[in-house]
Chain A
């Protein structure tokens, strides 16, 4: 639309268009002269009187407006009211034309010359003056000024509207110091050089402090006019300045026609330094004129005093005499910097050259929303390491001087080793003889020592660890007294008694195998309920001190590492996914509290509650294609770091293979028949015409094939009784062919569905199967997972029965033990159905799968009301029926009738043939194998298997 209308819009038309010429139309007569009239804005005729009679203005018409001419003002004067003196103003003699825009006294409001900017066009004046200087007859531009235009040009006006002011340059505002006009060094300029541009110099004068946010207009540039040299004079010649030559000023100095920088010119350029120009070699070309009296300059002698003899004679003034460093290092710069510093600077300090590096402070990581300060165990916790132990427990162990604390480096010192270990390390033999020093002593000495030790025992140890005190009291090889008396011992005994399964008990002394062995022995004794377990397990070869310490450790450890059935279980949370290894790793928050979200959605509290954000790693190439930088450069991950996947989602298994599958089922060429497409539309409506659906249904629909499925090509023959002419052609044959009894019952097409259900004998069984299998369509949704699991297992079982080849398309973990949820009758039925229908597996048609696909996401609307009517009444959703209005129904009827006519004709001719055709129509474009009814079921089964093996691949 826009394309052709645009072409008109591009042009602007003025005036009235000429009427289009038509060829056969006679040319219009030209308007006679007397009809060509001119009217003014009031519609009055303006008569043209000819040049000598006054043009337009002649006569009263255009001037006065009345035949009588001017109306004389009435003069009235009385005694009371004296006539005022009447002053005639020019306006009195003007009419509205004169006051109008183009009249002689326009009454528009305009700015007058006085109110325009006072700095009006200085640069222009300057330029003019310069060109006047350069002109052959100096001052002749004065005339030009006299006839200068009254108004500024349109360009100037535009510039002013854009914010330009006179005296400023044109261009974007620049950020720099306040401009210092004409600060050029006054270098000699020879000939017709350009006037100093001034922009470069201004860049480096930075003695002035300028605030950051102030911008300045660019400098005004004096326009240069390049005049071609026309005369025969030499380069740099300029005419006599009449003010000098004629007015007598010239006596002061020699008139130098070639003097490159005359004073006037310098003045024009604003060169203020010219007066301070030091002497140099100044030459004169023409000698002395007759009018001049000073001729000492004729043969001018240079004196050396006029030269600079000393380098840098002049003091720069900044104290940095002879300092040759670049200017930015001079003090000036620093000073300006200091000046820009707003705070107070201490004496003796200057501002730092480099700004300090700012420390970036990273905020602590924000805790996730649902963070609970409880440690979640990694699924692969090595039990032998102590990482699974809570910090409190580890602390307790360390206090008790146990060896089990992991933080202490293994084999940290020799004090950690007992004598046996040291012996093993050194490779010594076991010492023969008494194992304890005590034995070497005489009995009385021993007694004395014991009593001594008893008294020196710290009281705290006594109270807290009664075991040790007991042990010390009863010295000797066998400390039999301990177990019975210590209550700790009793506790541990109570905890461990009767526990048989401890394949994975905690091993606190794993670093020391022999000790661990002793500990385990002790535990096993405990489990048997042995009261003197401690004595049995301890090494008789150890010293008394070692033994008492070990006893203590064992008792503590046995209490602390009680099996989970007792107190430990209350302290620890169980790792979520430790036991089933076949589950996929799930990031904890992704699992999500679906209920919370659901509630939030119900309460319409979208936002934080319903939003989840994950790190997501786009592919590098994808970033490149999208023209964005890789957000995680160098990371090899693509996608989500951890992806939650349903264990039993069908798509997990299917996504790999379809690339070949897509090509596998060849579509039959379309015949262009409408009916064909009706069927395919139905399928689409049911949403799963793809292989996926086929497979799923293949797995479980073999049970149903017998009853409600598509025509099996094997039994094409139909009893003649079914040929009910009033049936809807599309939906009918499906049932007809599937089982004969049911189809026979159906005479009236409209109540097909009810009839169908009645005709099916084992409805309850169906329900038992399909009630659950209908969920399965949504198998990808995580909610229905458990039921899916069972379902799929069921189907797997069925599969296994049906064909010897096990279908491991759905990898079911063997560990999870389930009995099929559906009753035994179901399974028995399905198995029996399997046996009977296994040869019908060919009919793994989409038709059947369609039935259960309805919930697989939003559907596509039916192609059209008429078509869907003709083709698929039974499958059409009820909402559809409501929608279709009466009119469309009528239309449909027409169509249907039309259809029927055709069909009936065919039917009458050969019914069998017709049936085949309708069956073919049923199949639609999806599966071409079934078009020829002669494909054997075995063949089809084989194909199905091959497809499946593809899938597994």
Chain B
């Protein structure tokens, strides 16, 4: 009765350039997939935020209203809202369809580096150069944050939300994980300024990249290091890193114009994807498929696995 399961395919890596989108919005500071990977958001340095169709590469909407370059953006789970943050110290909640500003949240003392919705898009979390994470309520009309997390001693460079957990990386070299359910704060000391943090898809590990050109995979519960990934160059710029959709690989931007891709378990470099000559600033992995977005200068590139159209 029981047939042997078909042998699982070896995980493919996105190494075929499918499309290049010239965003026409200055430097692309961040590029993000939406929740299902059908659309992508690009944050431009010319104060605009653009929504693209990931499949066709067509521009769907431009959101303008920021006073300075847009640094990060995130889409809500139902694709009805977008939040974005900017150097103008504000966080803006957008209505996707109309392109209007639903709410403009002021409160950070410096530019806002990163922004995320929580799972139900009821809270916007934003991390800023002023060392605080602010939790904004999208449900009420309040313009003050619900809570300000000011434990970091330096700029917050990255933050991620997963269910009831909040992960922040700070320039003070610490990765902080706020567990709302347990009411605990776990601080992992990395020592080098953190540029980007991620949860793994299974939620058991955290990945952090730091300015000593190293990515570290830490066990979430104990803080022990499970893997270390080196070889790329990350010395001075705030660049992204991520995990592949099936947690098989670790990807990171590099200052030498490549995207490095390591095997998660072995830690060996499995792909060095040449993107261009400048710094690869941002990348985003498709939530389910093998598909990668990279941002370099003013362009966004879509990479797919070999052999697929």
List A residues at the B interface (Cβ < 8 Å): 1-5, 161, 597-598, 600-601, 604, 606-608, 610-619, 621-623, 625-629, 631-632, 638-640, 643, 645-646, 649, 651, 654-655, 657-659, 661-663, 667, 670, 677, 680-681, 684, 687-692, 778, 780-782, 856-865, 867, 877, 879, 883-885, 887-888, 925
In-complex Cβ contact of B130 among A631, A655, A864 (8 A): A655
Q: Is the CB of A654 within 8 A of B130?
A: yes
Q: Is the CB of B191 within 8 A of A618?
A: no
Q: Is the CB of A879 within 8 A of B109?
A: no
List B contacts of A631 (CB < 8 A).
180-184
In-complex Cβ contact of A780 among B154, B187, B291 (8 A): B154
**Can you name the residue of chain B whose Cβ is closest to the Cβ of A612?**
B187
Q: Is the CB of B27 within 8 A of A640?
A: no
Q: Is the CB of B38 within 8 A of A3?
A: yes
* Cα-based distance from A857 to B114 in the complex (angstroms): 14
Q: Is the CB of B147 within 8 A of A619?
A: yes
Q: Is the CB of A781 within 8 A of B172?
A: yes
List B contacts of A646 (CB < 8 A).
153
Query: Closest CB-CB distance, A751 to chain B, in whole Å?
Result: 23
Query: Closest CB-CB distance, B228 to chain A, in whole Å?
Result: 7
Q: Is the CB of A688 within 8 A of B110?
A: yes
List A contacts of B185 (CB < 8 A).
613-616, 640
In-complex Cβ contact of A861 among B56, B146, B179, B278 (8 A): B278
Q: Is the CB of B147 within 8 A of A618?
A: yes
Interface window among B8-16, B95-103, B117-125, B260-268: B117-125
A684-B277 contact in complex given A621-B146, A638-B147, A690-B111, C-beta closer than 8 Å: no
Q: Is the CB of A677 within 8 A of B45?
A: yes
List A contacts of B139 (CB < 8 A).
625
List B contacts of A677 (CB < 8 A).
26, 45-46
List A contacts of B298 (CB < 8 A).
863-864
A606-B193 contact in complex given A611-B188, A680-B69, A883-B255, C-beta closer than 8 Å: no
Which has the most chain B C-beta neighbours within 10 Å: A610, A612, A619?
A: A610
Query: Closest CB-CB distance, A818 to chain B, in whole Å?
Result: 23
Query: Closest CB-CB distance, B251 to chain A, in whole Å?
Result: 17
Besides the known contacts A651-B109, A655-B109, A684-B69, 4 further A-B residue pairs in the complex with CB atoms under 8 A apart: A604-B225, A616-B178, A638-B147, A658-B108
Query: Closest CB-CB distance, A643 to chain B, in whole Å?
Result: 7
List B contacts of A780 (CB < 8 A).
131, 153-155, 172
List CB contacts (< 8 Å) of B27-69 with chain A: 27, 29, 36-38, 45-47, 54-56, 67-69
Q: Is the CB of B107 within 8 A of A659?
A: yes
Query: Closest CB-CB distance, B289 to chain A, in whole Å?
Result: 8
B305 within 8 A of A: no
B216 within 8 A of A: yes
B132 within 8 A of A: yes
In-complex Cβ contact of A879 among B54, B132, B172, B235 (8 A): B235
Interface window among B73-81, B83-91, B197-205, B242-250: B83-91
Query: Closest CB-CB distance, B200 to chain A, in whole Å?
Result: 16
Which has the most chain A C-beta neighbours within 10 Å: B29, B55, B89, B139?
A: B89
List A contacts of B71 (CB < 8 A).
860
* Cα-based distance from A877 to B298 in the complex (angstroms): 19
List B contacts of A670 (CB < 8 A).
46-47
**Can you name the residue of chain B whose Cβ is closest to the Cβ of A861?**
B279
Can you list 30 A-B contacts with CB-CB less than 8 angstroms, sorted by A residue number? A2-B55, A601-B189, A601-B190, A606-B188, A606-B218, A611-B189, A614-B185, A618-B147, A618-B183, A621-B137, A622-B135, A625-B120, A631-B180, A631-B184, A643-B151, A645-B150, A651-B130, A658-B106, A659-B107, A662-B106, A662-B108, A689-B68, A778-B154, A857-B157, A858-B171, A860-B29, A861-B27, A867-B27, A887-B277, A925-B68
List B residues at the A interface (Cβ < 8 Å): 1, 26-27, 29, 36-38, 45-47, 54-56, 67-69, 71, 87-90, 106-111, 118-120, 122-123, 129-132, 135, 137, 139, 146-151, 153-155, 157, 163-164, 171-172, 178-191, 193, 195, 211, 216, 218-219, 222-225, 228, 235-239, 255-257, 277-279, 281, 289, 291, 297-298
* Cα-based distance from A657 to B27 in the complex (angstroms): 31
List B contacts of A632 (CB < 8 A).
183
Q: Is the CB of A690 within 8 A of B224?
A: no
* Cα-based distance from A925 to B69 in the complex (angstroms): 11
List B contacts of A655 (CB < 8 A).
109, 130, 132, 148, 150
**Can you name the residue of chain B whose Cβ is closest to the Cβ of A779?**
B154
Q: Is the CB of A681 within 8 A of B108?
A: no
Q: Is the CB of A877 within 8 A of B236?
A: yes
List B contacts of A607 (CB < 8 A).
219, 222-225
A860-B237 contact in complex given A619-B147, A627-B120, A677-B26, C-beta closer than 8 Å: yes
List B contacts of A782 (CB < 8 A).
153
Q: Is the CB of A879 within 8 A of B255?
A: yes
* Cα-based distance from A780 to B111 in the complex (angstroms): 16
Which has the most chain A C-beta neighbours within 10 Å: B71, B187, B216, B235?
A: B187
List A contacts of B155 (CB < 8 A).
780, 856-857
Query: Closest CB-CB distance, A163 to chain B, in whole Å?
Result: 11
Q: Is the CB of A864 within 8 A of B180?
A: no
**Can you name the residue of chain A whose Cβ is closest to the Cβ of B185?**
A616
Query: Closest CB-CB distance, B97 to chain A, in whole Å?
Result: 17
**Can you name the residue of chain A whose Cβ is closest to the Cβ of B163?**
A626
Which has the most chain A C-beta neighbours within 10 Å: B46, B281, B298?
A: B46
Query: Closest CB-CB distance, A613 to chain B, in whole Å?
Result: 5
Q: Is the CB of B236 within 8 A of A879?
A: yes
**Can you name the residue of chain A whose Cβ is closest to the Cβ of B30?**
A860
Query: Closest CB-CB distance, B290 to chain A, in whole Å?
Result: 12
Q: Is the CB of B238 within 8 A of A860?
A: yes
**Can you name the residue of chain A whose Cβ is closest to the Cβ of B152?**
A780
* Cα-based distance from A654 to B110 in the complex (angstroms): 9
The 5 A-B residue pairs whose C-beta atoms are closest, nearest first, are A631-B183, A1-B55, A863-B27, A611-B223, A616-B185
Q: Is the CB of A662 within 8 A of B88?
A: yes
* Cα-based distance from A144 to B219 in the complex (angstroms): 69
Which has the most chain B C-beta neighbours within 10 Å: A608, A659, A670, A857?
A: A857
Q: Is the CB of A859 within 8 A of B37?
A: no
Query: Closest CB-CB distance, A180 to chain B, in whole Å?
Result: 33
* Cα-based distance from A662 to B132 in the complex (angstroms): 16
List A contacts of B238 (CB < 8 A).
857-860
Query: Closest CB-CB distance, B168 to chain A, in whole Å?
Result: 12
